[in-house]
Amino acid sequence: MTGTQLKKITIEKFRALNGVEVEFGDYITVICGKNGTSKSSILGIAAQIFSFEKDYVTGASLRDFKQISGKGFKSQYKEHIRISEKFDVPGSLSASILLHEGYTDQAATANLELMTRTDDETKKILPRPVIRKNSTAAGNTSRNFTHPVVFLSLKRLYPIADRDYKAIDFEYLKAHEQDFIALTNELLNRSSTQATGTHGTITSAVAHGDNYNHESVSAGEDNAGQIIMALLSFKKLKAEYADYKGGLLLIDEADAGLFPTAQLNLLKIFERECRKLNLQVVMTSHSPVMIEYAYEQSQIEHSKKFKTVYLSNTYGSVRVMQDWSWAKISADIHTRTVGAGPTASLPSVNIYFEDKEAEDFFSALVYRQPIKKFLNQMSGIKMGCTNYVYLLDRKVPEFAVKSVVCLDTDAKPRIKGKGFKTVLLLPGDLPPDQLIFEHLFNLPSDDVYWENGLQFSRDVFTNSAAREAMRELAISGVAVNLKERLAAYLGNKVKRQIFKDFYNSADIQMLVTNSGKPFNPWMHWVKNNPQATNEFLENLKSAVFSVMKDGYAVDDAKLTALEVKLKKVPNVLK
């Protein structure tokens, strides 16, 4: 029989959270987000689901099972959710719960709602979170699920100098002192030799050396001690409780007072102890070290042990982003936005290309287009189609959801059937350098393009920039079907290199570096291919919409700000 495990909480409404889903890792879940995104509220909801007072299958009482400190394995709602009598009124909280229930070994569901109950101490009628529709309950469906919980709130960080406390011997801690010292030393990379329990404002324990004691430890050492005590409390419970089904450890700001190496050590310790003790650890943290490590572990194939949950309110209501790396989270926090109207702003979307000629072509296609101001052309990064498809196949977020990847048209067979939402194909039926070669070669000598004021006539073109390609591919006459010539080529040169050399020639570079000028060959191509250009612009708009919605969590209503009219290229033949 497997243990109890929290799978998902769907919060229909509660404070800043509306219609969000939070999925939990089998071992460790790291929740992060800016202030005011209700990170701690998620911990509070998770704590409120469970109690550890009765085994409803056997009827046995569980109240005698205690943590090392003597406290029970239940967090009182006052400890994990501060209720506002003014704003947290009945009906303002609605959440649905999905978990695997260890006692019945089945999937289980329930709802959590805010109702009114009489406070046991003050006898006042106050709002209180209550479980409803517990699917495992035979009679009273308003009971909590049975599961041991330890909740470490920010109260544990109460300044040591201001605490009222004294040393105390906890029986279990005294008997397992070396376990406590070893775990603390592993966490803090220390060589402590003694351990002291403390009781008072906060119940804690610390490991220290011979030259100082519990009265001179740092806040970080004290925080470490409380976390290690929680782990050992679950170890104690597993040894004492024959029908142990695992446990849930909730920690608000787990990294507080811990230096980066200790933060990393903590996650490694959690991973090991979660496996040994069948634990789930859910924490909030702002630590890039912890977030990135958890993300990296979540990306291991078939791994469900770790999850990162990022709460973003960048574009209005809070959105939940599962399994985001620190790089992606940092990018969202510091998103460069672009004004889309008097009161709206939208993110600037990165767009990647295979090479410079692709970017030159793209620049002409979007010249003076309103959508251009939302694009950040990644000019310094060039990769081949194979590399981009590799990254897209592996769902690397920067390319799969966060940016637009603009590929040459010959990439079409490589991406067919893959459903890449962020991929855009350049127009035409040839790669850009070959496309512009064919376009220029096929322009008659009396075309107005050759009257460009630079004395760059068709004769100059064929006698300089195009000469080597013409010789290598045996091109002559006044027109060419380049696909046919390439298919018939039996020479020793790499076909793509022939046209790379052509495109990088001094004459062609002189033309294409003058963006927007009538003698820029790409501008001439755009003007003479209005249908293909307009189709490309519509596809670009769709890809940018997809990135803003899925990659940056931009609300649908906000996207209406991008409903700028594309400047249609007129059909010059009409």
Residue 312 CB partners (closer than 8 Å, separation 6+): 33, 34, 37, 318, 319, 321, 332, 553
The yes-or-no verdict on residue 345 having pLDDT over 70 is: no
Does residue 301 or residue 399 have the better pLDDT? Answer: 399
The yes-or-no verdict on residue 160 having pLDDT over 70 is: no
Q: What is the pLDDT of residue 344?
A: 53
Residue 168 CB partners (closer than 8 Å, separation 6+): 197, 198, 199
Q: What is the pLDDT of residue 474?
A: 94
DSSP assignment of 185-234 equals HHHHT----EEEEEEESS-EEEEE-TT--GGG--HHHHHHHHHHHHHHHH
Mean per-residue pLDDT for 165-191? 91
Strands 125-132 and 106-118, by their bridges, are antiparallel
Q: What is the pLDDT of residue 347?
A: 78
> Taking the mean position of all CA atoms in its chain, how far away is CA 333?
12
The yes-or-no verdict on residue 300 having pLDDT over 50 is: yes
Q: What is the pLDDT of residue 216?
A: 63
Residues 523 and 517: beta-carbon distance below 8 Å: yes
Question: Hey, what are 480's tokens?
Answer: 């060419």
Does residue 485 or residue 122 have the better pLDDT? Answer: 485
Crossing angle for the helix pair 260-277 and 177-188, nearest 10 degrees? Answer: 140
pLDDT-derived band at 574 (thresholds 50, 70, 90) equals very low
Q: What is the pLDDT of residue 573?
A: 46
pLDDT-derived band at 213 (thresholds 50, 70, 90) equals low
SS3 content of the chain, % helix, strand, coil (to 5): 40, 20, 40
The yes-or-no verdict on residue 452 having pLDDT over 60 is: yes
Domains and CATH numbers, the chain: 5-157+224-333 (3.40.50), 349-562 (no CATH)
pLDDT-derived band at 565 (thresholds 50, 70, 90) equals low
Give the integer Cα–Cα distance in Å for 54 and 63. 7
The yes-or-no verdict on residue 170 having pLDDT over 60 is: yes
From 6, 32, 36, 174, select the one nearest 101 (Cα to Cα). 6
Give the integer Cα–Cα distance in Å for 325 and 331. 10
* Number of CB atoms found within 10 A of residue 281's CB: 28
For residue 474, which amino acid is it? A
Q: What is the pLDDT of residue 208?
A: 86
Q: In what order do the strands lie in the sheet with 5-14?
A: 17-23, 5-14, 94-101, 106-118, 125-132
Q: What is the pLDDT of residue 352?
A: 93
The yes-or-no verdict on residue 341 having pLDDT over 70 is: no
pLDDT (tens digit per residue) in 16-70: 888 999 999 999 999 998 877 889 889 999 999 999 999 998 999 999 999 999 9
The mean pLDDT of the chain is 88
Q: What is the pLDDT of residue 450?
A: 92
The model's pTM is: 0.62
- Give Cα separations from 531 to 98, 439, 518, 536, 569 (angstroms): 51, 16, 19, 9, 8
Does residue 139 or residue 25 have the better pLDDT? Answer: 25
Give the integer Cα–Cα distance in Å for 188 and 259. 8
Q: In what order do the strands lie in the sheet with 375-382?
A: 375-382, 349-353, 404-407, 423-425
Strands 106-118 and 94-101, by their bridges, are antiparallel
- DSSP 8-class letter at 348: P
pLDDT-derived band at 183 (thresholds 50, 70, 90) equals very high
The yes-or-no verdict on residue 82 having pLDDT over 80 is: no
515 φ/ψ angles, rounded to the nearest 5 degrees: -60, 135
Give the integer Cα–Cα distance in Å for 258 and 425. 48
Crossing angle for the helix pair 260-277 and 288-298, nearest 10 degrees? Answer: 40
Write the Ramachandran bin of 440: left for phi over 0, alpha for psi from -120 to 50, otherwise beta.
Answer: alpha
Lowest mean per-residue pLDDT among 369-373, 550-554, 568-572: 568-572
pLDDT (tens digit per residue) in 535-562: 999 999 999 988 988 887 776 666 765 5
Give the integer Cα–Cα distance in Å for 292 and 217. 29
Q: What is the pLDDT of residue 151?
A: 95
> Taking the mean position of all CA atoms in its chain, how far away is CA 517?
42
Give the integer Cα–Cα distance in Å for 421 and 403. 10
Mean per-residue pLDDT for 160-173? 80
Most confident of 122-126, 276-280, 296-300: 276-280
Residues 276 and 37: beta-carbon distance below 8 Å: no
pLDDT-derived band at 336 (thresholds 50, 70, 90) equals low
Q: What is the pLDDT of residue 338?
A: 63
Most confident of 95-99, 299-303, 446-450: 95-99
Lowest mean per-residue pLDDT among 323-332, 387-396, 531-540: 323-332
Q: What is the pLDDT of residue 343?
A: 46
pLDDT-derived band at 410 (thresholds 50, 70, 90) equals very high
From 321, 331, 360, select the one nearest 509 (Cα to Cα). 360
Helix (H/G/I), strand (E/B), else coil: 378 = strand
Mean per-residue pLDDT for 142-163? 85
The yes-or-no verdict on residue 421 having pLDDT over 70 is: yes
Beta strands per DSSP E along 209-305: 247-251, 279-284
* Number of CB atoms found within 10 A of residue 147's CB: 24
Mean per-residue pLDDT for 79-106? 86
The yes-or-no verdict on residue 262 having pLDDT over 70 is: yes
